[in-house]
Amino acid sequence: MRDLDLPSLHAAIEARACDSVPLADDEVLALPEVSSRDGREMLEAAGTVRDRAFGKTATFSPKVFLPVTNLCRNKCGYCSFKKMPGDAGVWTMSPSEVTEWIARGREHGCVEALLCLGDKPETSFPAYRAQLASFGHDNTVDYLTRVSRIALDHGLLPHTNAGLLTREDMAQLRTTNVSLGLMLESASDRLCGPGMPHHRAPDKQPQKRIRMLEDAGELRIPFTTGILVGIGETRRERIEALLEIRRISRAFGHVQEVIVQSFRARPEIPMHAASDPSDDDLIDAIALARLILDDDVSVQAPPNLSPHATAKMLRAGINDFGGISPVSPDYINPRHPWPHLKALGEACACEGFSLHPRLPIYPRWRERTEFIDRDLEMNARACERRVSSFAVGRSPHLESASVGSP
């Protein structure tokens, strides 16, 4: 690897911004040498890259959030979503509850059904296996397939984030989901050590998650991944995770978007005493993501976790806010309600951006027939007609949507 001096690195960043020259791996790994004093150059470069790739449009996906089950076999230090049998708030959604929530989402203009759950709970909880059996299924993936079909029947496009899945699981879900997701979170084995946030979470071992991202690429599944900021990782480890995502994305061409998500401390989690990352940490991570990732990959940050940093996030290079629901809370971060869409749109306008809804599969991947089956493309066309109406203001939901109650 080359020994890069600071002037050479600044020249590489300028070339990335002005001439669309990707940063080489050694240039990426040298980015920690760009200190906070030099951060303005990085932010300006990241904003320029975003403007070239996505213009002055910021997007979001109108969704209904379905916590299919909050049982999970992992014990991450920062998670408040996971429940154990007998805990207050433990919930596995029945088919009738799923149908009710999806119908409500359709009524409020949603086009995405986000299916979210813990890792393979049937391997750890007999009561959950019995509940699945009462629904007529012997494994979670079969039930997710059923839930996805309910969503499709109601005119919504399913996107599933079910933790680690096998290649066979993903091949099955590919027939009913327009996209799948798995946060890489970090590529650092260090965070799996004793006393670290992933020590009691075997499914968070980086190589397992990297393997799933690669399998999804081989299966030609449009994919969402991302990193967590503030769980004990170093700045270099964030960069290494982004570089790993770039490698996988270039190998298979399936990574639609990368989420840069901040840790938020809560009283009920093991890391309750940990400090939240600062806005500066988040903004730096966003700028790094935009500079490291190729131009066809969206960079996303959840607006509800940093409600006062919308302008900063846009300046740092995001082009997407992810899913926002007019009917269901953020079950992963229940203390952080979705923003009112009118207020978010006004915040974007102050920075020269327009806010528009989108589908959970981006146009670039819909145009490539190997990434979407014909039947799902027909569903996507119908959703596209509805989301277009939403976008041009003929639907009231862009003006009135805000967090609903469970």
pLDDT digits (tens, 9 = 90+) for 117-130: 988 899 999 999 99
Q: What is the pLDDT of residues 334-374, one digit of tens each?
A: 899 999 999 999 999 999 999 999 999 999 999 999 999 99
Q: Quick one: tokens of 318? A: 């995001």
Report whether pLDDT(296) > 60. yes
What is the reported pLDDT for 253? 98
- Find the mean pLDDT for residues 76-91: 92
Buried b (16+ CB within 10 A) or exposed e, 322-342: bbbbbbbbbbbbeebebbbbe
* pLDDT greater than 70 at residue 404: no
The predicted-structure confidence for 277-289, as pLDDT tens digits, reads as follows 999 999 999 999 9
pLDDT at position 35 is 60
The amino acid sitting at 38 is: D
242 pLDDT more than 60: yes
**Which tens digit of pLDDT belongs to each residue from 29-70?**
998 876 655 678 899 999 999 999 999 999 999 999 999 999
- Give CA torsion, residues 180, 56, 63, 81, to 10 deg: 70
DSSP 229: E
For domain 49-400, which architecture applies? Alpha-Beta Barrel (3.20)
